[in-house]
Amino acid sequence: MEQPVLELRDISKNFGMTRALAHMSISLFPGEVHAVVGENGAGKSTMIKIMTGIYPPSSGALQVDGTTVTISGPHMAREKGIVAIYQEPMVFPDLDVAENIFISSTREGLIQNPARLRHKARQLLARVGISLDVERIASGLTLAEQQAVEIARALSQDVRVLIMDEPTASLSAHEAAQLRRIATKLAEDGVSVVYISHRLEEVFDIAHRVTVIRDGEHISTRPVSEVTSDGMISEMVGREFESLFEKSPSVARPEVILEVKDLAVDEIFSGVSFDLHYGEVLCMAGLVGARRTDIGLALFGIHPAGSGTVSFKGKPLVITSAAQAMKAGIAYVSEDRRKFGLAMPMPIRENITLATLGEFLSRWGLVKRKKEVEVAETFKKRLNIRTPDIEMAVGMLSGGNQQKVMLAKWLNMKPDLLIFDEPTRGVDVGAKAEVHDLIREFVAAGGAAIVISSDLPEVLAMGDRILVMREGRQMGILTHEEATQENIMALATGQTSTREVA
Amino acid sequence: MNAPRSTSPHASKSLFAKLRSWEAFLTFVLILVILVNSTLIPQYFTISNQINLFQLSIEKVIVALVMTFVIINAEIDLSVGSIMGLAACLFGWLFQNGVSAEMAIVIVMIAGGLAGALNGYFIAFVGLPSLVVTLATLIGFRGLARVLVEDRGITDFPDWFDALGQQGLVGPIPFSFFAFIVLFTIAFIILHRSAFGRLTYTIGNNREVAEFAGVNTAAVKMKIFVASGLVAAFAGLLYAARVGAVRGDVALGFELDIITLVLLGGVSIFGGSGTMVGTLLALLIVLNLRNGMALMNVTGHIQTGVIGVLLIVSVVLPRLDVTRIFKSRNPRGTRQ
């Protein structure tokens, strides 16, 4: 076989007493898509950071084109053609697309020629098959478009190894498919693509070889034709795996908790009507830009609805603020942990009690820390939050555990209606199953749940009914029995339109 | 960013970790300053000098307590010096125009609250940056103070008023010292033990997260700025009592000294972290350092220079901590 572009040989990385990587070896060949899978905390991020020179390895060697090298920083990695892009792209919101693509380019010289930049930007975008106005300001781009900008940026630097860290975690199915096509095309052009994803069906779709890592160790590397989904998952979690994503029987009761009629927010969405029963899980499916999050924000009072009626627990309710929605018994778990969900530098305990701080006050308005600790410890056990200490900053936890802290915050409010917005985005398989169990537990105890999700297997596994949105319009509601990935996508992409209400 | 509050709990037991905490570092510096002062200066450890060193800066020190809240909340209040000046001048002007001193104090405190509310309104409800709003009111309030008093000084306040600022209340210990103890205790309890303090940190870290948890973040910000105005007005009155006279330039430029104290105390200029104890240690260091230098006849300019160097060190030092950069997982939680 030909020579690998990049090879890790027996790399270990320790942080103090913690071993993040142990004797990791992996070879990346030009022209292959190499998927790396593993649970959160398995060491994928550390491996990327070693490849891109952010961390020096504690021991072992890095080889580029067969020669041992020391990559002393991201800058040097870039010179060697090793670039990583992440699920949350780095764009400068006030610059336009072309400027963003060439932001770190030194080849353009001191004085940049805007017309030439734009021309070159268009060429790069065309190479990955994306049509995007290069003069648009980046703050208005969707996540998918921002990622396209990042890929084009990598291409502008003659990338040889492109590491994609969960690039599709935040994308709709359609956008994700487009991104996978780009990855495949880059590999055909001779780039070595490292593809990290929690979506196993993607791995089967595009990868040539798959490496499984667990607890910082290399478990296996095989051609994709020799692996099965179940085999891969049991290697990842280290135990036998029974099918995780099967729909459990509905526990919906006949009584209606929420009735929404013709809900609309000006120029964002309109004509949203549905009802929700106690014990029911209603999933909202759709592509990015379908405006599902906006419905959640309207029901939670962050961006109050302009027209339409909501009746909650049998009474009409006009929701104008989050505090009011919470008082009525509605909670919303945001899709964006960093921006809206958690105060990252603050302790786990303080994040869990934030929404219910009023319940932890003494007569004098002082916070009862002992009670806080009790509640936080209870949730740590109940939700299996993996942390040595609830006083640790929540930002130090893995994505799945951060998600659980956020859920704990809202479960402690004991809401009647919980709106979950992308509850398992960027969360590993094990934690995902735990989150699903939590949602089921919550509705079994009599609550009602709205689950906004771009993950179709999740929608099919969780939803008693599925409401499909497209560009701010409600396209239809499918019962679990009717729903298939195909007919949900057909509605979401506007190929068919049903309006029956189950 | 450099959040002393969220030091890793794994390490919190080791001596090394304790030394790394900012408060520990400040304590060390404070002890050093006191040791050097008491070795070199015979009259340093006398009661009269200790009282003197404290009293001379009492106004700034008191305002620094509220400034700690303001900066942890990820805001800034540049107008405190001007509010202090306005309060002192308004007091003088009212007194000169026949209002009793007692009544004038009440009016001045109300004016201070209103001045803070004006800042708070534009920052919390209109959503303008506090840097801009309080820069504008820094100029505005100072202008008002100068209009009231013009260039002449106002003096001859009642004896009890001057005595409050200049003489001991209990033995040699002046009123302002007790005022500081009470205010520090209140500020400590509110910041570290109350729900309001918790929300101050949360909003400073991430206002959106607090909004999404149903917190009325604008109300919290408003209260902090009103408190800032009230305390600045109180400090302005203390100044008038201590000096026994007011002029248009009372407390000119004090805001920068006050902000310096707070930043030196380990409060992050980006908000979200810092402690009341850090502020206390910082102000003790600055007071003792200045006093020591003054007793050794170091000129005021050099004193200011030394404080400046200290501030730069305080900003740079936490960043030089290499172990923090390579600590497992990204402490800012940006990427996973």
Structure confidence by residue, pLDDT tens digits, A57-79:
989 999 999 899 988 888 888 88
Domain boundaries, chain B: 23-315
Q: Closest residue of B to A297, CA-based?
A: B212
Which of B6, B209, B322 to probe by mutation at the A interface, max A CB count within 10 Å? B209
CB contact under 8 A, B10 and A426: no
DSSP letter string, A156-212: TTT-SEEEEESTTTTS-HHHHHHHHHHHHHHHHTT-EEEEE-S-HHHHHHH-SEEEE
Specify whether the CB–CB gap between B153 and B245 falls below 8 A.
yes
Single out the residue of B239, B266, B288, B229 nearest to residue B53, CA to CA: B288
Q: Which fold has domain B23-315?
A: ABC transporter involved in vitamin B12 uptake, BtuC (1.10.3470)
Residues 6+ apart with CB under 8 A from B88: B145, B236, B237, B239, B240, B246, B250, B251
How high is the pLDDT of residue A215? 79
CB contact under 8 A, A55 and B211: no
Q: How far apart are CA B94 and CA B86, in angstroms?
A: 12
Q: Does the beta carbon of A362 lie under 8 angstroms from any beta carbon of chain B?
A: no
Which of A58, A197, A198, A346 to probe by mutation at the B interface, max B CB count within 10 Å? A346
Return the minimum-mean-pLDDT range out of A113-117, B77-81, B252-256: A113-117
Chain B residues whose CB is inside 8 A of the A398 CB are: 336
How high is the pLDDT of residue B320? 61
The rounded mean pLDDT for chain B is 87
In the Cβ-directed half-sphere of B243, how many Cα atoms lie within 13 Å?
22
Average pLDDT (A426-445) is 87
**Amino acid occupying residue A389:** D
CB contact under 8 A, A325 and B335: no
ipTM: 0.84
Structure tokens at A291: 């405006």
Specify whether the CB–CB gap between A417 and A445 falls below 8 A.
no
Q: How far apart are CA A288 and CA A454, in angstroms?
A: 8
How high is the pLDDT of residue A501? 39
Between B323 and B93, the more confident residue is B93
Tell me the pLDDT tens digit for each residue of A240-282: 544 456 777 888 899 999 999 999 998 889 999 999 999 999 9
Q: Which of A18, A347, A409 sits opposite B6 (nearest CB)?
A: A347
Residue A247 main-chain phi, psi, to 5 deg: -70, 130
Tell me the pLDDT tens digit for each residue of B15-49: 445 445 788 888 988 999 999 999 998 888 888 88
How high is the pLDDT of residue A107? 60
Report the SS3 class of residue B254. Answer: helix
Q: Which fold has domain A6-237?
A: Rossmann fold (3.40.50)
Is pTM beyond 0.90 here? no
CB contact under 8 A, B194 and A350: no
Q: Closest residue of A to B4, CA-based?
A: A345
Out of A131-135, A237-241, B118-122, give the one with best mean pLDDT. B118-122
Q: At residue B326, does pLDDT exceed 60?
A: no
Average pLDDT (A278-305) is 92
How high is the pLDDT of residue B20? 57
Average pLDDT (B96-113) is 96
- Strand A82-85 vs strand A417-421: parallel, antiparallel, or unpaired? unpaired
CB contact under 8 A, B195 and A393: no
Average pLDDT (A448-471) is 91
Q: At residue B220, does pLDDT exceed 80?
A: yes
How high is the pLDDT of residue B8? 37
Tell me the pLDDT tens digit for each residue of B12-24: 344 445 445 788 8
Q: At residue B323, does pLDDT exceed 50?
A: no
CB contact under 8 A, A345 and B331: yes
Single out the residue of A434, A335, A420, A33 nearest to residue A197, CA to CA: A33
Q: Does the beta carbon of A15 lie under 8 angstroms from any beta carbon of chain B?
A: yes
Region of B53 (left: φ > 0; alpha: ψ -120 to 50; beta: rest) is alpha
Q: How far apart are CA A333 and CA A325, in angstroms?
A: 13
Chain A residues whose CB is inside 8 A of the B2 CB are: none
Tell me the pLDDT tens digit for each residue of B52-66: 888 888 999 999 999
Residues 6+ apart with CB under 8 A from B8: A392, A396, B17, B327
Tell me the pLDDT tens digit for each residue of A5-40: 999 999 998 876 667 888 999 999 999 999 998 876
Average pLDDT (A86-104) is 83
How high is the pLDDT of residue A45? 83
DSSP letter string, A43-85: SHHHHHHHHTTSS--SEEEEEETTEEE---SHHHHHHTTEEEE
Return the minimum-mean-pLDDT range out of A47-56, A75-84, A485-494, B176-185: A485-494
Q: At residue A318, does pLDDT exceed 80?
A: yes
Angle at A278 between CA A449 and CA A308, to 5 degrees: 70
CB contact under 8 A, A16 and B328: yes
Specify whether the CB–CB gap between A470 and A476 falls below 8 A.
no
Specify whether the CB–CB gap between A459 and A369 falls below 8 A.
no
Q: Does the beta carbon of A409 lie under 8 angstroms from any beta carbon of chain B?
A: yes
Specify whether the CB–CB gap between B283 and B59 falls below 8 A.
no
Q: At residue A429, does pLDDT exceed 90?
A: no
The alpha-carbon gap from B203 to the nearest alpha carbon of chain A, in Å, equals 9
In the structure, what pLDDT confidence band is assigned to residue B331 with cuts at 50, 70 and 90?
very low
Average pLDDT (A468-485) is 91
Q: At residue A469, does pLDDT exceed 70?
A: yes
Q: Does the beta carbon of A326 lie under 8 angstroms from any beta carbon of chain B?
A: yes
Tell me the pLDDT tens digit for each residue of A188-218: 989 999 998 877 788 888 999 999 988 788 9
Average pLDDT (B67-94) is 97
How high is the pLDDT of residue A295? 96
Q: At residue A442, does pLDDT exceed 70?
A: yes
Q: Which of B193, B209, B213 sits opposite A367 (nearest CB)?
A: B193
How high is the pLDDT of residue B31? 94
How high is the pLDDT of residue A168? 79
Q: Does the beta carbon of A54 lie under 8 angstroms from any beta carbon of chain B?
A: no
Structure tokens at A384: 């299996």
Q: At residue A458, does pLDDT exceed 70?
A: yes
The rounded mean pLDDT for chain A is 87
**H/E element, B212:** helix B207-212
Q: At residue A493, does pLDDT exceed 80?
A: no
Q: How far apart are CA B209 and CA B217, in angstroms?
A: 10
Q: Which of A341, A357, A360 sits opposite B209 (nearest CB)?
A: A341
Average pLDDT (A109-125) is 80
Q: Which of B3, B189, B208 sits opposite A340 (nearest CB)?
A: B208
